[in-house]
């Protein structure tokens, strides 16, 4: 909704945080993953339906969460179009394939769906993740690369999916031609070399 309204979602959350009590921020991202959040609420929802109650909010949240990888694909596609490139033939460097920062767990990671969508439309996808040395995407075994200056400059688009603290976001901002940041890892002020698109 914020994107369609031209409103910065982080500014909305920051404004909500000025409430003096009872506020906990939740930030948008490329989708949910892990062994519990994508599964456990649906089990509760199923159990409640067996007992005659329809927990609509759980179903709605699941629907929105499952749509996020497609939204990320749209962001990448639109960002590439803005600089005169198609997804097909573009080199995409994905930063982070784990489902959350600081870990190597890829269970239910949105990276699977996003990389599959990019690859199936002809993008050449590489990834960097200090916690995940190999990643099976779209039936192809990928090996992690180091996000060096050379790799960052070679990519038509750098896509940040997991905000691992090990990544040098200053280097990403300096060397990335086009950056799609789904985690708000790069301060807008330092993205001087290329275009920065945020979720």
Annotation says 157 is catalytic? no
Three-state SS string over the chain comes to: CHHHHCCCHHHHHHHHCCCCCCCCCCCCCCCCCCCCCCCHHHHHHHHHHHCCCCCHHHHHHHHHHHHHHHHHHHHHHHHHHHCCCCCCCCEEEEECCCCCCCCCCCCCCHHHHHHHHHHHCCCEEEEECCCCCEEEECCEEEECCCCCHHHHHHCCEEEECCCCCCCCHHHHHHHCCEEEECCCCCCHHHCCCCEEEEC
Confidence of residue 103 (pLDDT cuts 50, 70, 90): very high
- What's the whole-model pTM score? 0.91
pLDDT one-digit tens code per residue, 43-61: 899 999 999 999 999 989 9
pLDDT one-digit tens code per residue, 134-157: 999 888 899 999 999 999 999 999
Confidence (pLDDT) at 20: 79
| Radius of gyration of the chain measured on its C-alpha atoms | 18
Residue 95's nearest CA partner among 135, 122, 64, 35 is: 135
Confidence (pLDDT) at 192: 55
- Return mean pLDDT, the chain: 92
Q: Which of 7, 17, 36, 190 is catalytic?
A: 36
Confidence (pLDDT) at 194: 63
Confidence (pLDDT) at 152: 97
* pLDDT higher than 80, residue 193: no
CATH number of the 68-198 domain: 3.40.50.720
């Amino acid at each position: 909704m914020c994107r369609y309204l031209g409103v910065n979602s982080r500014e909305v959350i920051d404004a909500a945080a000025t409430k003096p009590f009872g506020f906990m921020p939740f930030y948008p991202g490329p989708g949910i993953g892990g062994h519990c959040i994508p599964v456990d609420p649906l089990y509760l929802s199923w159990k409640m339906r067996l007992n005659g109650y329809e927990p609509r909010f759980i179903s709605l949240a699941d629907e929105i969460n499952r749509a996020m990888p497609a939204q990320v694909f749209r962001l990448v596609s639109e960002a590439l179009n803005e600089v005169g490139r198609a997804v097909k033939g573009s080199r995409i460097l994905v930063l982070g394939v784990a489902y959350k920062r600081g870990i190597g767990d890829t269970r239910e990671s949105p990276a699977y769906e996003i990389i599959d969508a990019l690859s199936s439309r002809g993008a050449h996808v590489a990834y960097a993740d200090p916690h995940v040395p190999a990643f099976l995407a779209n039936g192809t075994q990928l090996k992690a690369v180091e996000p060096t200056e050379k790799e960052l400059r070679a990519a038509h688009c750098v896509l940040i999916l997991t905000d691992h603290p090990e990544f040098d976001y200053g280097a990403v901002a300096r060397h990335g031609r086009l950056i799609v940041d789904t985690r708000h890892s790069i301060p807008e002020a330092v993205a001087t070399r290329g275009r920065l698109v945020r979720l």
